[in-house]
Amino acid sequence: MSRNKVYVNRLERVRSMMKQRGLEGFWISKRENQGYVTGYPSSDLFVLLTDTDNYLITDFRYIEVVKDLCEPLFTIVMTETGFSLWDAVRKVAGDIKTVGIEESVLTVADMKLLQKALPKAELVDASGLMEEIRVIKDEGELEAMGKAISLADNCFSHMLNVLHAGMTEKEGALEIEMFLKKHGAERLSFPTICVSGARTSLPHGEPSDKVIEIGDFVTMDFGCVVDGYCSDMTRTVGIGRISEEQKEIYDLVLRAQKNCLANLKAGVTWQGGDRFARDIIEEAGYGQYFGHGTGHGVGLEIHEAPTMSPRGQGVFQENMTVTVEPGIYLPKKFGVRIEDLAIITSSGIINKVKSNKELIIL
C-alpha cells in the first residue's frame, strides 16, 4: 500500500468514528495519535480535523519537513510571531459546534485557550477514539515492530556475550542501550531495566551501582523504537550457578508464560488471557508474588490496549499485539520475569521474540 493510501485510510476511519460520536471537529493532542494520522509525531505539531479538512498547524522550524510529508492530505498552517496557534485555530474553524478533545492528555491551560479560540464549540471528551482504531495493527505497523523486536533479540545475544560477574547493573544497562542505538534504534521504548540479585524482586527496579555477583539472577527488560514502533522483551539469566529454589521459580514462570502463549488467540477475553498464566502461578502457591498483569499491547506507545490483566475489558482480535510477561517476585530474595511479544491470529499467536528462554547460566 502506498504511503499516502495508508494515511487516507486512517483518516477515513477517524472521520467515521467522529460521525458516530457526533463530532464536527477533533483536536488531536496526543503525540502518538498525531503521528498515526500525519506520519510525523512532534511535540510542536497540532492537528485539527473538521468535517471537510485536515489541518496541521506548526511553526517555521517544521514547515519544510511537514510540507514534504503531509501535503496535500493536510492543509498546513504556519504560526508566526503575532499569529499564534490559537489565532490559527480560530481562523480555520471559528464557527465549529462540537469538537472532540483528548482529556487524558490535553492540559487544562490549553483546553481553556482552545475554548476561547472556538467560542461556539462544545468540547467533548474523545479520549480513546484513536486508541480504539490503533489497537488493530496494519501490515506496515507489524513490519516496523518486527524490526524493533529483532533488534532487541540481537541485543540479548550480545548481552549473553558481555554480561559477567563484576560489572554493575548500570554498566549492564548501558551495554544494552549502546547496542540498540548503535544498530538502528531511533530511541529506547522506555528506560532500560537491568537488575541483579535480591534487586530482581523489584519488577521495575532501576539499574544501580550494585555489582553483579555469582549466584545472582539478572533480569533485563528493554526495548527500542524503529520506524516509530516499540519493542519490549524481558529475560532473566543466572550468573555462575543458581540455587534449587531459583531454578524452581524460573521453571514455574516459564511454564506459565508458555501456557499463555499456547492458548492465546482471537476470541479469548483479555482477562481470560491473563488467566492462562496466572492460574499456573496461583496453583503453585505463588499468586501473591505475581502482582501485575500478564501483558499489554505495544505499538506507537510502549503500553497501550489490550490490557491483559484481571482488570482488562475486551476480547482479543486478529492483529492485536500483546506482551506475555508473567513474573514471580520474592521480596529480598529474587524475582523472575520472562517476556515475549505476540501478534494475535485467528488460530493462535505469532511470537515475534525469538531469543532462547530456557534457563541460561552465564
Q: Which is nearer to Mn ion, 58 or 323 (CB)?
A: 323
Contact window for Mn ion (CB under 5 A) among 82-90, 141-149, 227-235, 311-319: 227-235
Size of the site for Mn ion (CB under 5 A): 2
* Shortest distance, position 217 Cβ to Mn ion, whole Å: 18
How far apart CA 339 and CA 231 sit, in angstroms, is 11
Site track for Mn ion across 125-154, x = CB under 5 A: ------------------------------
How far apart CA 345 and CA 165 sit, in angstroms, is 41
How far apart CA 254 and CA 237 sit, in angstroms, is 12
* Shortest distance, position 151 Cβ to Mn ion, whole Å: 16
* Shortest distance, position 202 Cβ to Mn ion, whole Å: 15
Residue 43 carries which DSSP code?
Answer: T
Q: Which is nearer to Mn ion, 131 or 304 (CB)?
A: 304
Look at strands 233-238 and 54-59 and give their pairing: unpaired
- Residue tagged 531495566 (cell numbers): 193
* Shortest distance, position 190 Cβ to Mn ion, whole Å: 8
* Shortest distance, position 337 Cβ to Mn ion, whole Å: 9
* Shortest distance, position 355 Cβ to Mn ion, whole Å: 15
Beta strands in the chain (DSSP E): 25-28, 46-49, 54-59, 75-79, 98-101, 122-125, 187-188, 193-196, 217-222, 224-226, 229-230, 233-238, 295-297, 304-308, 321-324, 327-330, 334-337, 340-344, 349-351
* Shortest distance, position 33 Cβ to Mn ion, whole Å: 21
The residues, any chain, with a CB within 8 Å of residue 46's CB and separated by 6 or more, are 27, 29, 34, 56, 57, 58, 85, 89
Contact window for Mn ion (CB under 5 A) among 29-37, 46-54, 121-129, 231-239: 231-239
Q: Which is nearer to Mn ion, 24 or 232 (CB)?
A: 232
* Shortest distance, position 339 Cβ to Mn ion, whole Å: 5
Q: Within positions 151 to 170, which residues make up the interface with Mn ion, using CB under 5 A?
A: none
Q: Which is nearer to Mn ion, 34 or 234 (CB)?
A: 234
Alpha carbon distances (Å) from 177 to 59, 111, 173, 221, 309? 33, 37, 6, 11, 29
Q: Which residue stretches of 122-243 are H helix?
A: 129-134, 139-162, 169-182
Contact window for Mn ion (CB under 5 A) among 106-114, 116-124, 321-329, 351-359: 321-329
Contact window for Mn ion (CB under 5 A) among 66-74, 141-149, 153-161, 225-233: 225-233
Q: Which is nearer to Mn ion, 10 or 134 (CB)?
A: 134
How far apart CA 217 and CA 239 sit, in angstroms, is 6
217 closest CA partner among 314, 78, 347, 338: 338
Q: Which is nearer to Mn ion, 56 or 149 (CB)?
A: 149
Q: Exposed, middle or buried: residue 251 (CB in 10 Å: 0-12, 13-18, 19+)?
A: middle
Q: Which is nearer to Mn ion, 102 or 232 (CB)?
A: 232
H/E element holding 183?
Answer: none
Contact window for Mn ion (CB under 5 A) among 36-44, 57-65, 119-127, 319-327: 319-327
R_g over Cα of the chain: 23
Q: Within positions 73 to 112, which residues make up the interface with Mn ion, using CB under 5 A?
A: none
236 makes contact with Mn ion (CB under 5 A): no
Helix, strand, or coil (residue 205): coil
Site track for Mn ion across 331-360, x = CB under 5 A: ------------------------------
Contact window for Mn ion (CB under 5 A) among 5-13, 113-121, 123-131, 230-238: 230-238
**Residue 100 φ then ψ, to 5°:** -75, 140
323 makes contact with Mn ion (CB under 5 A): yes
Residue 289: left (phi > 0), alpha (psi -120 to 50), or beta? alpha
232 makes contact with Mn ion (CB under 5 A): yes
* Residue ranges binding Mn ion (CB under 5 A): 232, 323
